[in-house]
A and B are shown apart, each in its own frame.
Chain A
Amino acid sequence: MARILGGICTSHIPAIGAAIARGTQEDPYWKPFFEAYPPVREWLRKVEPDIAVVVYNDHGLNFFLDNLPTFAIGAAPEYRNADEGWGLPTLAPYPGDPKFSWHVIESLIADEFDIATCQEMLVDHAFTVPLSLLWPERSKMRIKTLPIAVNTVQHPLPSPTRCYKLGQAVGRAIESYPDDLGVVLIATGGLSHQLDGERAGFINKKFDLMCLDKIVADPLALAKYSIHDLVEHAGTQGVELIMWLVMRGALTGKVAKVHSHYHIPVSNTAAGLVVLENAA
Protein backbone atom coordinates (compact mmCIF):
# COMPACT_ATOMS: atom_id res chain seq x y z
CA MET A 1 0.00 0.00 0.00
CA ALA A 2 1.08 3.58 -0.59
CA ARG A 3 2.52 5.38 2.40
CA ILE A 4 2.33 9.09 3.23
CA LEU A 5 5.84 10.09 4.25
CA GLY A 6 5.08 13.66 5.21
CA GLY A 7 4.27 17.09 3.94
CA ILE A 8 5.99 20.31 2.97
CA CYS A 9 4.42 23.77 2.94
CA THR A 10 6.33 26.43 1.05
CA SER A 11 5.79 29.82 -0.53
CA HIS A 12 5.78 29.90 -4.34
CA ILE A 13 6.57 33.51 -5.31
CA PRO A 14 7.40 33.89 -9.05
CA ALA A 15 10.46 36.05 -8.20
CA ILE A 16 12.04 32.92 -6.66
CA GLY A 17 11.90 31.24 -10.06
CA ALA A 18 13.44 34.33 -11.65
CA ALA A 19 16.25 34.34 -9.04
CA ILE A 20 16.94 30.66 -9.76
CA ALA A 21 16.98 31.36 -13.52
CA ARG A 22 19.48 34.20 -12.97
CA GLY A 23 21.55 32.21 -10.47
CA THR A 24 21.36 34.91 -7.80
CA GLN A 25 20.62 32.62 -4.84
CA GLU A 26 23.73 33.82 -3.00
CA ASP A 27 22.93 37.54 -3.30
CA PRO A 28 22.33 39.27 0.06
CA TYR A 29 18.63 39.74 -0.75
CA TRP A 30 18.11 36.06 -1.57
CA LYS A 31 20.54 34.17 0.66
CA PRO A 32 18.39 34.27 3.84
CA PHE A 33 15.56 32.71 1.83
CA PHE A 34 17.40 30.04 -0.16
CA GLU A 35 19.50 28.85 2.77
CA ALA A 36 16.34 27.42 4.35
CA TYR A 37 16.01 24.73 1.69
CA PRO A 38 19.06 22.39 1.93
CA PRO A 39 17.64 20.68 5.08
CA VAL A 40 14.41 19.97 3.18
CA ARG A 41 16.32 18.41 0.31
CA GLU A 42 18.26 16.33 2.81
CA TRP A 43 14.99 15.07 4.31
CA LEU A 44 13.68 14.22 0.83
CA ARG A 45 16.84 12.25 0.09
CA LYS A 46 16.29 10.33 3.31
CA VAL A 47 12.59 9.46 2.82
CA GLU A 48 12.86 8.92 -0.97
CA PRO A 49 9.33 9.69 -2.19
CA ASP A 50 8.06 8.18 -5.43
CA ILE A 51 5.24 10.67 -5.96
CA ALA A 52 4.62 14.28 -4.94
CA VAL A 53 1.03 15.43 -4.60
CA VAL A 54 1.32 19.18 -5.20
CA VAL A 55 -1.55 21.28 -3.83
CA TYR A 56 -1.43 24.75 -5.36
CA ASN A 57 -3.53 27.57 -6.77
CA ASP A 58 -3.58 28.47 -10.45
CA HIS A 59 -3.04 32.20 -11.07
CA GLY A 60 -4.87 32.42 -14.38
CA LEU A 61 -2.72 30.19 -16.55
CA ASN A 62 -4.75 27.01 -16.97
CA PHE A 63 -8.13 28.22 -15.74
CA PHE A 64 -10.16 31.27 -16.71
CA LEU A 65 -13.45 32.62 -15.40
CA ASP A 66 -15.40 30.87 -18.18
CA ASN A 67 -14.97 27.58 -16.38
CA LEU A 68 -13.37 27.81 -12.98
CA PRO A 69 -13.32 24.70 -10.79
CA THR A 70 -13.12 25.05 -7.02
CA PHE A 71 -10.98 21.91 -6.85
CA ALA A 72 -9.27 20.33 -9.86
CA ILE A 73 -6.92 17.38 -10.21
CA GLY A 74 -4.48 16.36 -12.90
CA ALA A 75 -4.86 13.05 -14.75
CA ALA A 76 -2.21 13.60 -17.39
CA PRO A 77 0.96 11.73 -18.32
CA GLU A 78 2.90 14.98 -17.99
CA TYR A 79 2.45 18.60 -16.95
CA ARG A 80 3.99 21.58 -18.69
CA ASN A 81 4.42 25.17 -17.56
CA ALA A 82 4.31 28.35 -19.68
CA ASP A 83 5.70 31.86 -19.52
CA GLU A 84 2.52 33.18 -17.80
CA GLY A 85 2.80 36.52 -19.60
CA TRP A 86 6.06 37.56 -17.94
CA GLY A 87 8.56 35.56 -19.95
CA LEU A 88 9.17 32.91 -17.25
CA PRO A 89 11.41 30.11 -18.54
CA THR A 90 9.63 27.04 -19.83
CA LEU A 91 10.89 23.95 -18.05
CA ALA A 92 11.10 20.27 -18.89
CA PRO A 93 7.66 18.65 -18.48
CA TYR A 94 6.90 17.12 -15.08
CA PRO A 95 5.93 13.45 -15.27
CA GLY A 96 2.48 12.48 -14.02
CA ASP A 97 1.08 9.09 -13.06
CA PRO A 98 -2.40 8.69 -14.62
CA LYS A 99 -3.05 5.38 -12.87
CA PHE A 100 -2.42 6.96 -9.48
CA SER A 101 -4.43 10.05 -10.51
CA TRP A 102 -7.49 7.99 -11.40
CA HIS A 103 -7.28 6.07 -8.15
CA VAL A 104 -7.27 9.36 -6.23
CA ILE A 105 -10.13 10.72 -8.39
CA GLU A 106 -12.27 7.63 -7.83
CA SER A 107 -11.57 7.65 -4.12
CA LEU A 108 -12.29 11.39 -3.74
CA ILE A 109 -15.59 11.24 -5.62
CA ALA A 110 -16.68 8.14 -3.68
CA ASP A 111 -15.81 10.24 -0.62
CA GLU A 112 -18.13 13.08 -1.82
CA PHE A 113 -15.43 15.43 -3.11
CA ASP A 114 -16.63 15.97 -6.69
CA ILE A 115 -13.39 17.27 -8.09
CA ALA A 116 -12.85 18.45 -11.70
CA THR A 117 -10.53 16.16 -13.69
CA CYS A 118 -7.94 17.41 -16.17
CA GLN A 119 -6.28 15.21 -18.80
CA GLU A 120 -4.44 18.31 -19.98
CA MET A 121 -3.31 20.88 -17.47
CA LEU A 122 -0.76 23.66 -17.60
CA VAL A 123 0.94 24.21 -14.25
CA ASP A 124 2.07 27.67 -13.20
CA HIS A 125 4.76 29.05 -10.89
CA ALA A 126 2.82 27.83 -7.84
CA PHE A 127 3.62 24.30 -8.97
CA THR A 128 7.04 24.74 -10.58
CA VAL A 129 8.80 27.09 -8.13
CA PRO A 130 8.48 24.78 -5.09
CA LEU A 131 9.65 21.81 -7.17
CA SER A 132 12.66 23.86 -8.36
CA LEU A 133 13.46 24.66 -4.72
CA LEU A 134 13.16 21.03 -3.64
CA TRP A 135 14.84 19.42 -6.67
CA PRO A 136 17.20 22.06 -8.11
CA GLU A 137 18.73 19.51 -10.48
CA ARG A 138 15.96 18.23 -12.69
CA SER A 139 18.13 15.38 -13.96
CA LYS A 140 18.15 14.01 -10.40
CA MET A 141 14.39 14.41 -9.86
CA ARG A 142 12.99 10.87 -9.97
CA ILE A 143 9.50 11.50 -8.66
CA LYS A 144 6.20 11.65 -10.49
CA THR A 145 3.71 14.38 -9.71
CA LEU A 146 0.01 14.81 -9.10
CA PRO A 147 -1.28 18.41 -9.18
CA ILE A 148 -4.35 19.43 -7.20
CA ALA A 149 -5.48 23.01 -7.86
CA VAL A 150 -7.62 25.03 -5.44
CA ASN A 151 -9.48 28.16 -6.60
CA THR A 152 -8.20 31.35 -4.99
CA VAL A 153 -9.05 33.63 -7.94
CA GLN A 154 -12.79 34.15 -7.66
CA HIS A 155 -14.77 34.25 -4.42
CA PRO A 156 -16.42 32.40 -2.85
CA LEU A 157 -13.32 30.31 -2.18
CA PRO A 158 -13.60 26.95 -0.44
CA SER A 159 -13.55 27.42 3.32
CA PRO A 160 -10.48 26.48 5.34
CA THR A 161 -12.51 23.69 6.99
CA ARG A 162 -13.53 22.34 3.58
CA CYS A 163 -9.89 22.37 2.48
CA TYR A 164 -8.82 20.49 5.60
CA LYS A 165 -11.51 17.88 4.92
CA LEU A 166 -10.39 17.60 1.29
CA GLY A 167 -6.93 16.87 2.64
CA GLN A 168 -8.33 14.11 4.86
CA ALA A 169 -10.02 12.58 1.79
CA VAL A 170 -6.78 12.88 -0.20
CA GLY A 171 -5.00 11.09 2.65
CA ARG A 172 -7.55 8.24 2.56
CA ALA A 173 -7.15 8.06 -1.23
CA ILE A 174 -3.37 7.78 -1.03
CA GLU A 175 -3.39 5.19 1.73
CA SER A 176 -5.84 2.98 -0.17
CA TYR A 177 -3.62 2.82 -3.28
CA PRO A 178 -2.50 -0.80 -3.65
CA ASP A 179 1.05 -0.17 -4.92
CA ASP A 180 3.90 0.28 -2.48
CA LEU A 181 4.75 3.92 -3.09
CA GLY A 182 6.08 6.66 -0.84
CA VAL A 183 4.07 9.86 -1.20
CA VAL A 184 4.95 13.36 -0.10
CA LEU A 185 2.44 16.21 -0.11
CA ILE A 186 3.63 19.66 -1.12
CA ALA A 187 1.35 22.58 -0.33
CA THR A 188 2.34 25.85 -1.93
CA GLY A 189 1.51 29.49 -1.23
CA GLY A 190 1.45 31.97 1.63
CA LEU A 191 2.20 33.31 4.01
CA SER A 192 0.76 36.83 4.44
CA HIS A 193 0.76 39.05 1.38
CA GLN A 194 -1.50 41.34 -0.59
CA LEU A 195 -0.89 42.38 -4.19
CA ASP A 196 -3.98 44.47 -4.91
CA GLY A 197 -5.72 47.55 -3.61
CA GLU A 198 -4.51 50.42 -1.47
CA ARG A 199 -3.54 47.86 1.18
CA ALA A 200 -0.99 46.27 -1.22
CA GLY A 201 2.17 45.31 0.64
CA PHE A 202 0.30 44.19 3.75
CA ILE A 203 2.27 41.63 5.80
CA ASN A 204 1.32 40.29 9.25
CA LYS A 205 4.28 38.65 10.98
CA LYS A 206 2.43 37.91 14.21
CA PHE A 207 -0.36 36.05 12.40
CA ASP A 208 2.12 34.13 10.23
CA LEU A 209 4.15 32.97 13.23
CA MET A 210 0.95 31.73 14.83
CA CYS A 211 0.12 29.81 11.61
CA LEU A 212 3.60 28.25 11.50
CA ASP A 213 3.03 27.02 15.04
CA LYS A 214 -0.56 25.80 14.66
CA ILE A 215 -0.08 23.97 11.36
CA VAL A 216 2.07 21.48 13.27
CA ALA A 217 0.07 20.57 16.35
CA ASP A 218 -3.33 22.26 16.10
CA PRO A 219 -4.44 22.65 12.45
CA LEU A 220 -8.10 22.75 13.45
CA ALA A 221 -7.41 26.12 15.06
CA LEU A 222 -6.51 27.39 11.58
CA ALA A 223 -9.36 25.56 9.86
CA LYS A 224 -11.80 27.52 12.04
CA TYR A 225 -10.98 30.81 10.35
CA SER A 226 -13.27 32.03 7.58
CA ILE A 227 -11.90 33.17 4.23
CA HIS A 228 -12.85 36.70 5.24
CA ASP A 229 -10.77 36.32 8.42
CA LEU A 230 -7.79 35.15 6.37
CA VAL A 231 -8.09 38.09 3.96
CA GLU A 232 -8.23 40.43 6.94
CA HIS A 233 -5.31 38.90 8.88
CA ALA A 234 -3.10 37.60 6.05
CA GLY A 235 -4.05 39.72 3.02
CA THR A 236 -5.97 38.95 -0.16
CA GLN A 237 -3.32 36.45 -1.27
CA GLY A 238 -2.58 35.26 2.26
CA VAL A 239 -5.68 33.07 1.82
CA GLU A 240 -3.25 30.65 0.20
CA LEU A 241 -2.98 29.18 3.69
CA ILE A 242 -5.89 26.96 2.58
CA MET A 243 -3.43 24.89 0.51
CA TRP A 244 -1.43 24.25 3.69
CA LEU A 245 -4.62 22.97 5.31
CA VAL A 246 -5.20 20.48 2.48
CA MET A 247 -1.71 19.10 3.06
CA ARG A 248 -2.16 19.00 6.82
CA GLY A 249 -5.51 17.20 6.53
CA ALA A 250 -3.84 14.41 4.58
CA LEU A 251 -1.34 13.65 7.33
CA THR A 252 -2.40 11.42 10.15
CA GLY A 253 -3.04 12.84 13.57
CA LYS A 254 0.48 12.77 14.92
CA VAL A 255 3.19 14.59 13.05
CA ALA A 256 6.74 15.56 13.85
CA LYS A 257 8.20 18.85 12.69
CA VAL A 258 11.39 18.28 10.75
CA HIS A 259 12.17 21.86 9.78
CA SER A 260 10.63 25.33 9.51
CA HIS A 261 11.67 28.78 8.36
CA TYR A 262 10.21 32.26 7.98
CA HIS A 263 11.61 35.22 6.11
CA ILE A 264 10.36 38.72 5.24
CA PRO A 265 10.26 39.81 2.47
CA VAL A 266 10.47 37.87 -0.74
CA SER A 267 9.01 40.26 -3.27
CA ASN A 268 5.67 41.30 -1.63
CA THR A 269 5.42 38.21 0.52
CA ALA A 270 6.33 36.77 3.90
CA ALA A 271 7.92 33.46 2.94
CA GLY A 272 7.08 30.44 5.08
CA LEU A 273 8.35 26.88 5.08
CA VAL A 274 7.40 23.86 7.18
CA VAL A 275 8.35 20.20 6.80
CA LEU A 276 6.28 17.65 8.68
CA GLU A 277 6.86 13.93 8.95
CA ASN A 278 4.00 11.53 9.43
CA ALA A 279 4.65 10.07 12.86
CA ALA A 280 1.70 7.72 13.26
Chain B
Amino acid sequence: MTAAIELRGDIPGTYIFDGALAMKGYALNKMCYSFNDAANRAAFLRDEDAYCAKFGLNAEQRDAIRRRDVLALIEAGGNVYYLAKFAGIFGLNVQDIGAQQTGMSVEAFKAKLKAAGD
Protein backbone atom coordinates (compact mmCIF):
# COMPACT_ATOMS: atom_id res chain seq x y z
CA MET B 1 0.00 0.00 0.00
CA THR B 2 1.22 3.45 -0.87
CA ALA B 3 0.03 4.86 2.45
CA ALA B 4 2.19 2.42 4.43
CA ILE B 5 5.26 3.42 2.43
CA GLU B 6 4.38 7.08 2.86
CA LEU B 7 4.33 6.81 6.64
CA ARG B 8 7.20 4.40 7.26
CA GLY B 9 9.10 5.33 10.37
CA ASP B 10 12.61 4.92 9.05
CA ILE B 11 14.10 8.38 9.59
CA PRO B 12 16.43 8.22 12.60
CA GLY B 13 15.41 10.30 15.61
CA THR B 14 12.11 11.17 13.94
CA TYR B 15 8.57 10.28 14.99
CA ILE B 16 5.71 10.43 12.51
CA PHE B 17 2.62 11.41 14.47
CA ASP B 18 0.14 9.14 12.70
CA GLY B 19 -3.17 7.55 13.67
CA ALA B 20 -1.52 5.00 15.97
CA LEU B 21 0.33 7.66 17.98
CA ALA B 22 -2.69 9.98 17.88
CA MET B 23 -4.81 7.26 19.50
CA LYS B 24 -2.12 6.33 22.01
CA GLY B 25 -1.54 9.94 23.04
CA TYR B 26 -5.12 11.23 22.95
CA ALA B 27 -5.55 11.87 26.70
CA LEU B 28 -2.08 13.38 27.05
CA ASN B 29 -2.55 15.66 24.06
CA LYS B 30 -6.02 16.65 25.23
CA MET B 31 -4.57 17.75 28.55
CA CYS B 32 -1.79 19.71 26.83
CA TYR B 33 -4.31 21.28 24.43
CA SER B 34 -6.20 22.56 27.49
CA PHE B 35 -3.12 24.62 28.39
CA ASN B 36 -4.11 27.12 25.69
CA ASP B 37 -6.22 28.51 28.53
CA ALA B 38 -4.32 30.31 31.31
CA ALA B 39 -6.84 29.16 33.92
CA ASN B 40 -6.05 25.53 33.05
CA ARG B 41 -2.31 26.16 33.33
CA ALA B 42 -2.90 27.55 36.80
CA ALA B 43 -5.07 24.56 37.74
CA PHE B 44 -2.29 22.18 36.63
CA LEU B 45 0.25 24.04 38.75
CA ARG B 46 -2.08 24.05 41.75
CA ASP B 47 -2.64 20.29 41.74
CA GLU B 48 -0.76 18.36 39.08
CA ASP B 49 -2.00 14.92 40.21
CA ALA B 50 -5.64 15.94 40.15
CA TYR B 51 -5.25 17.66 36.78
CA CYS B 52 -3.62 14.60 35.16
CA ALA B 53 -6.24 12.31 36.71
CA LYS B 54 -9.02 14.45 35.27
CA PHE B 55 -7.71 13.77 31.76
CA GLY B 56 -7.14 10.05 32.41
CA LEU B 57 -3.42 9.89 31.65
CA ASN B 58 -2.00 6.38 31.74
CA ALA B 59 0.96 5.51 34.01
CA GLU B 60 3.55 6.02 31.22
CA GLN B 61 2.14 9.45 30.37
CA ARG B 62 1.81 10.49 34.02
CA ASP B 63 5.41 9.50 34.70
CA ALA B 64 6.73 11.37 31.64
CA ILE B 65 4.80 14.49 32.69
CA ARG B 66 6.22 14.20 36.20
CA ARG B 67 9.77 13.99 34.81
CA ARG B 68 9.16 16.78 32.18
CA ASP B 69 10.84 14.36 29.76
CA VAL B 70 10.01 15.36 26.19
CA LEU B 71 11.28 12.20 24.47
CA ALA B 72 9.32 10.04 26.91
CA LEU B 73 6.24 12.20 26.29
CA ILE B 74 6.62 11.71 22.53
CA GLU B 75 6.96 7.96 22.98
CA ALA B 76 3.82 8.05 25.12
CA GLY B 77 1.96 9.54 22.14
CA GLY B 78 2.52 13.22 22.75
CA ASN B 79 2.53 15.57 19.76
CA VAL B 80 5.13 18.31 19.85
CA TYR B 81 2.64 21.10 19.13
CA TYR B 82 0.58 20.24 22.22
CA LEU B 83 3.67 19.38 24.28
CA ALA B 84 5.04 22.86 23.52
CA LYS B 85 2.13 24.27 25.52
CA PHE B 86 3.09 22.04 28.45
CA ALA B 87 6.73 23.19 28.15
CA GLY B 88 5.47 26.77 28.03
CA ILE B 89 4.14 26.46 31.58
CA PHE B 90 7.74 26.20 32.72
CA GLY B 91 8.98 28.92 30.38
CA LEU B 92 10.76 26.42 28.13
CA ASN B 93 11.00 27.24 24.43
CA VAL B 94 11.75 24.98 21.46
CA GLN B 95 15.49 25.43 21.87
CA ASP B 96 15.28 24.30 25.49
CA ILE B 97 13.32 21.20 24.52
CA GLY B 98 15.61 20.64 21.52
CA ALA B 99 18.59 20.64 23.84
CA GLN B 100 16.84 18.24 26.21
CA GLN B 101 15.95 15.78 23.44
CA THR B 102 19.43 15.79 21.94
CA GLY B 103 21.23 15.60 25.28
CA MET B 104 23.06 18.87 24.62
CA SER B 105 23.37 22.07 26.61
CA VAL B 106 21.12 24.86 25.32
CA GLU B 107 24.23 26.82 24.30
CA ALA B 108 25.61 23.85 22.34
CA PHE B 109 22.22 23.31 20.70
CA LYS B 110 22.07 26.96 19.63
CA ALA B 111 25.61 26.75 18.26
CA LYS B 112 24.64 23.68 16.24
CA LEU B 113 21.70 25.59 14.71
CA LYS B 114 23.93 28.53 13.86
CA ALA B 115 26.52 26.22 12.27
CA ALA B 116 23.84 24.86 9.91
CA GLY B 117 24.06 28.21 8.12
CA ASP B 118 27.76 27.93 7.35
Binding site for B on A (CB under 8 A): 15, 59-61, 64-66, 82-87, 153-156, 194-201, 203, 205, 226-228, 231-232, 236, 263-265, 267-268, 270
Contacts and interface: CB of A to CB of B under 8 A. Distances in A.
Nearest to B20: A155
B116 A197 contact: no
Nearest to A265: B113
B17 A153 contact: yes
A129 to B, nearest CB: 14
A153 B81 contact: yes
Interface residues of B, number: 51
B43 to A, nearest CB: 13
B58 interface: no
Given A156-B6, A199-B11, A82 B81 contact: no
B66 interface: no
Nearest to B79: A153
A59 to B, nearest CB: 4
User: Which 3 A-B pairs rank lowest in CB-CB distance, beginning with the nearest?
Assistant: A264-B117, A85-B85, A198-B13
B31 to A, nearest CB: 11
Contact of A195 (B8, B16, B19, B97): B97
B105 interface: no
B51 interface: no
A84 B3 CA distance: 32
Nearest to A59: B81
B113 A264 contact: yes
Contact of B12 (A61, A87, A199, A227): A199
A267 B94 contact: yes
B82 to A, nearest CB: 5
B6 A84 contact: no
Interface of B: 3, 5-8, 11-19, 22, 26, 29-30, 32-33, 35-36, 38, 41, 70-71, 74, 79-86, 88-89, 93-95, 97-98, 101-102, 109-110, 112-114, 116-117
Contacts of A154: 17-19, 22, 79
13 contacts: A60-B29, A84-B85, A153-B17, A156-B6, A195-B84, A195-B94, A198-B71, A201-B102, A201-B109, A201-B112, A201-B116, A226-B6, A268-B113
Given A65-B22, A155-B7, A82 B101 contact: no
A61 B36 contact: yes
Contacts of A84: 36, 85, 88
B34 to A, nearest CB: 9
Contact of A15 (B33, B93, B109, B117): B93
Contacts of B30: 64-66
Contacts of B70: 196
Given A196-B101, A265-B110, A267-B93, 20 more contacts: A59-B81, A60-B29, A60-B33, A61-B36, A82-B36, A83-B36, A84-B85, A84-B88, A85-B86, A86-B93, A154-B17, A155-B7, A155-B19, A198-B71, A199-B13, A201-B112, A228-B6, A263-B117, A264-B114, A264-B116
Contacts of A232: 11
Nearest to B40: A85
A228 B81 contact: no
Contacts of A15: 93
A201 B7 contact: no
Contacts of A201: 98, 102, 109, 112-113, 116
Contacts of A200: 13, 97-98, 101-102
Nearest to B7: A155
A64 B7 CA distance: 21
Contacts of B82: 60
